[in-house]
Amino acid sequence: MRETSFIKQNKEKWKEIEQDLNNENVDPDKMSDLFIQITDDLSYSRTFYPNRSVRVYLNNIAQQIFYSIYKNRKTQLGRFSYFWKHELPYVVWESRREFSLAFWVFMLAFGIGILSCAMDAEFPRMVLGDDYVDMTIENIESGDPMAVYKQRGELGMSVGITVNNLWVAFQTFALGVFFSLGTLFYLVKNAIMVGAFQYFFFEQGVFLESFLTIWIHGTLEISAIVIAAAAGLTMGKGLVFPGTLTRVQAFQISARRGVKIMMGIIPIFIIAGFLEGFLTRQTETPDLIRGLFIFVCLAFVISYFWWLPRKRGKEGLLILPKEDRLPSDSNQLIDFTRIKSSGEIFSDVFVFYKKNILVIGGLALVSAFFYTGMVFSFTPDSPTDLFSFPQINISQGNEFVSIFEYLIVKFIAYIGVIHSFFVNEAVPFLVVLNTFIFSCLTFLSFTYLIKTFEKEQEIKEERPTKNTMHHILNFAKIATVILVMNLFLITNDWFTVVLIVPIGYPVLILWMYIMCKESIGLFTGLSRTFYLLNGSSDKLLGTYILTLTIGISFFMITDTSLIWIYIKLVSLNLVLTQEIMDQFAVISLTFISTAVLYLIYPLLISGVGLLYHTLLEIKEAPNLKNRIKNIGNARVIQGMIRE
């Protein structure tokens, strides 16, 4: 088509578009359609009239439409307001069945706690602890039943309780990944404790005082726990009921919705912690005022998490956020050609993990089975003498222990458990066993990462065939490095462990990956490692800390009361002596812990392996040089350069 004919054919449409641009009340949908039309015309003009004024004219019109559409895009403050006023209530409405289930399960378990106390006078001691019950009885006898809330300073108590409640809520939510069963278990456990807690005061004849004191903060706190459970059920729903989507797709959507709900209860926990630290202790306040305050808190919860979501749901006008739309089922690609931040590499780790989850998961289970079988089959000592798995919980009687102290104690206990898998005088062949298992995990992780690189970069140049001897040599190099590291670990010197694990091991991982990727020897690989790290060691440390943190967090979450309740269920259904039951518990926990450890390990491996390509681009820029080399060689199709 000649340019004059093209202009004549479309000039009326363009004139209408110019008029609409001057109209402030134009329909947004119409403006979006106009933008599509004008960009189609612009694309056509770029193809057939690249050097004519019509292309410049259409480009100017397209820019004006784009600006008109996006000039009112929400600011950060507007986005914040929109989240609380519209998005969160709508997500709650979408998860109303999960909220209903969480509420009724809580009420049922709350009733079970009350009924159990009514039928068994010793039940409160079972769930609350002897120390807390005895202390409360002493306070009641002294005339101040709520003295427990006055034992610490206001600020310290508020901060400690807030962080503790957030940790409980996080566990309740995170356990939703176990097909919602973990969330339900935690919800039932907490509800039974609340029911027993409240009935205990009723039985002691101080129900009204306890109610008006406890529920000043408890209205928001307990509501937030139920909401956290609803968030966990929302996340787990994607795994249990994926519908017409794949489980991965359904889980991506449900997990994002669950996270948004969790974000919504963070301020509630902060307010509840403030109330518990500063207001709950004011037991001299008139009962009417305290009752009205509880009513206001309850009214807020009902209005924001029940009435407003129903209103937003009936409006049905919310545009589904981009991240909540159906995720693409096509294979995501990892860009190995550009320099990336630690956060971007961290995201790529999970893309790689998703692509190879079946291999990684299967290898973790096989390795855990092999480790457990070898250790307990070829060691004469009793399993209970080999490993110790302390169950660490914050009891009700120790409610006001700092959560930081609790987490530190728990972290140290986990480090001790993991360390015992590597260093154990009762298992003399442990060094060889760990070297073999971790060499296999490292070798296979690197092999799949290199295959991903070659596949997604569409490498077609001639390469030497990687025969069996090539793979054997790579495995030998990896085994050598890991063996040396394990020999250092068995010295049992704490400073050696601290030096190697958080500082030296990422360098060793990079060294091993370079040897496999570039097919070079030990000393050449070590030289290349320090060459690439020169000036970029912060990237290595940042990437490693991110992956290590998420790995440790996941390991800590898996060791929950779920595992212990599973062991208790087995003991209730099988007639076993206590000695055999203890041995069964140690063997089970060893298998579960090592399986999780071997599942997390590829995170560290792949993270540092992906970082190698960024370090290489920083130092040598092979992809940049290749793009510069190919400037001017782009293929031209119908007047357009293929980009």
Residue 311 has pLDDT above 80, yes or no: yes
Q: Which of 377, 215, 393, 250 is nearest to 324 (CA)?
A: 250
**Are 597 and 525 part of one and the same domain?**
yes
**Are 142 and 251 part of one and the same domain?**
yes
Q: Is residue 121 part of a domain?
A: yes
Domain total in the chain = 3
486 alpha carbon, distance to own chain's centre: 30
Q: Is residue 334 part of a domain?
A: no
**Are 428 and 479 part of one and the same domain?**
yes
Distance between CA atoms of 503 and 180, rounded to whole angstroms?
37
Residue 640: in which H helix or E strand, if any?
Answer: strand 640-641
**Are 47 and 94 part of one and the same domain?**
no
Q: Is residue 75 part of a domain?
A: no
Q: What is the pLDDT of residue 307?
A: 93
Q: What is the pLDDT of residue 371?
A: 93
Q: Model confidence at 323, in pLDDT bands (50, 70, 90)?
A: very low
Distance between CA atoms of 312 and 314, rounded to whole angstroms?
5
Q: What is the mean pLDDT of residues 271-292?
A: 84
Residue 1: in which H helix or E strand, if any?
Answer: none
Q: What is the pLDDT of residue 394?
A: 43
User: For the ranges 231-245, 281-295, 470-484, 568-582, which has the lowest average pLDDT?
Assistant: 568-582
**Are 32 and 179 part of one and the same domain?**
no
User: For the ranges 153-157, 238-242, 348-352, 353-357, which has the lowest average pLDDT?
Assistant: 153-157
Q: What is the pLDDT of residue 569?
A: 65
Angle between helices 207-240 and 154-174 (to 10 degrees): 30
How does DSSP assign 276-307, residue by residue?
IIIITT-TTS-HHHHHHHHHHHHHHHHIIIII
At 641 the three-state DSSP class reads: strand
Q: What is the pLDDT of residue 504?
A: 76
User: For the ranges 301-315, 378-392, 453-467, which has the lowest average pLDDT?
Assistant: 453-467
DSSP class of residue 503 equals: I
Q: Is residue 637 part of a domain?
A: no
Q: Are 127 and 113 in contact (CB under 8 A)?
A: yes
Q: What is the mean pLDDT of residues 550-579?
A: 65
Q: Are 126 and 393 in contact (CB under 8 A)?
A: no
Q: What is the pLDDT of residue 636?
A: 44
Q: Is residue 491 part of a domain?
A: yes
User: For the ranges 367-371, 543-547, 618-622, which has the lowest average pLDDT?
Assistant: 543-547
Asked which of 15, 49, 70 is the last residue of a domain, the reply is 70
Residue 137 domain boundaries: 83-324
Residue 112 has pLDDT above 90, yes or no: yes
Residue 586 has pLDDT above 90, yes or no: no
Q: What is the pLDDT of residue 114?
A: 92
**Are 222 and 365 part of one and the same domain?**
no
Highest mean pLDDT out of 119-128, 436-445, 460-469, 552-561: 436-445
User: For the ranges 286-295, 332-341, 490-499, which has the lowest average pLDDT?
Assistant: 490-499
Q: What is the pLDDT of residue 571?
A: 65
**Are 116 and 54 part of one and the same domain?**
no
**Are 302 and 361 part of one and the same domain?**
no
Q: Who wins on pLDDT, 449 or 488?
A: 449
HEC sequence for 247-276: HHHHHHHHHHHHHHHHHHHHHHHHHHHHHH
User: For the ranges 263-267, 315-319, 585-589, which has the lowest average pLDDT?
Assistant: 315-319
Q: Is residue 158 part of a domain?
A: yes
Q: What is the pLDDT of residue 130?
A: 82
Distance between CA atoms of 624 and 401, rounded to whole angstroms?
55
Residue 407 has pLDDT above 50, yes or no: yes
Q: Are 392 and 152 in contact (CB under 8 A)?
A: no
Please report, in angstroms and rounded to a whole number, the separation of the first and last CA atoms in the chain.
25
Residues in CB range of 52: below 8 A, 6 or more apart: 3, 45
Q: What is the mean pLDDT of residues 124-141?
A: 84
Q: What is the mean pLDDT of residues 293-302?
A: 93
User: For the ranges 12-16, 56-60, 181-185, 326-330, which has the lowest average pLDDT?
Assistant: 326-330
Q: What is the pLDDT of residue 38?
A: 77
Q: What is the pLDDT of residue 26?
A: 61
Q: What is the mean pLDDT of residues 476-481?
A: 92
How does DSSP assign 236-247, residue by residue?
HHHHH--TTS-H
Q: What is the pLDDT of residue 631?
A: 56
Q: What is the pLDDT of residue 570?
A: 67
User: Over pLDDT 70: what percentage of the chain?
Assistant: 77
**Are 174 and 271 part of one and the same domain?**
yes
* Helix, strand, coil distribution of the chain in percent, nearest 5: 80, 0, 20
Q: Report long-range pairs for 495-503 (Cβ below 8 Å, ≥24 apart).
A: 497/419, 502/544, 502/545, 502/548
Q: Is residue 635 part of a domain?
A: no
Across the chain, what does the average pLDDT equal?
78
Q: What is the pLDDT of residue 77?
A: 53
**Are 54 and 87 part of one and the same domain?**
no
Q: Who wins on pLDDT, 284 or 550?
A: 284
**Are 488 and 349 part of one and the same domain?**
yes
Q: Is residue 639 part of a domain?
A: no
Distance between CA atoms of 344 and 335, rounded to whole angstroms?
10
Q: Who wins on pLDDT, 78 or 58?
A: 58
Q: What is the pLDDT of residue 633?
A: 52
Q: Are 436 and 471 in contact (CB under 8 A)?
A: no
Residue 252 has pLDDT above 60, yes or no: yes
Distance between CA atoms of 280 and 219, rounded to whole angstroms?
12
**Are 296 and 433 part of one and the same domain?**
no
Q: What is the pLDDT of residue 439?
A: 93
Q: Residue 23 burial (CB < 10 Å; 0-12/13-18/19+)?
A: exposed
